[in-house]
Amino acid sequence: MSIKIGDKFPEGVFRVKGSDGIKEITTDEYFANKKVVLFALPGAFTPTCSAKHLPGFINNVSSFIDKGISNIACMAVNDPHVMQAWGEVSGVDNKIDMLSDSDCSVAVSLGLDMDFGKVMGHRSKRFAMVVDGNIITHLFVEEVGAFEVSSAENVLSNL
């Protein structure tokens, strides 16, 4: 069953790589007392994710801040090393939190996971949401193969 607007973000763990190694942060800690746009995608360095999804959020950081968003986060079922490297080569420059859902447990708890077959395996569906103090207030889930509703521009137009 998929998560819906008004639900509390489920308990889980994100992993992030920083200068002092890999750290774990619970979803409760991450979303507490702030308004976050979280977007998720099937994988780092994949075509649509690298050419459109991540760049759209990078290019619109100031517009999200102007609308009251405190943090923007990108989640993928990749290890924290890959998420950090992808952020570096994409020019994230600490504007977006690159969150690893390395075991796919967060995507599963949201009901937004999918088996992408032998090449990519079990991953997150493409989606975006606004989480305000651990409560999901906006939710944009893509149909498989689509990239429309979870774009930065669409999320912005709905804030």
What is the pLDDT of the chain when averaged over all its residues? 90
Is 49 marked active-site?
yes
Domain boundaries, the chain: 13-157
| pLDDT band (50, 70, 90) for residue 30 | very high
Which amino acid does the sequence have at 17?
Answer: K
At 47, the pLDDT band (50, 70, 90 cuts) reads low
**pLDDT tens, 74-129?**
999 999 999 999 899 999 999 999 999 999 899 999 998 777 667 665 678 989 99
Q: Residue 93: which residues within 8 A CB-CB, separation 6 or more?
A: none
- Which of 49, 74, 98, 136 is flagged as catalytic? 49
Percent of the chain exceeding pLDDT 70 equals 92
What's the CATH fold of domain 13-157? Glutaredoxin (3.40.30)
d(Cα 120, Cα 138) in Å, to the nearest integer? 28
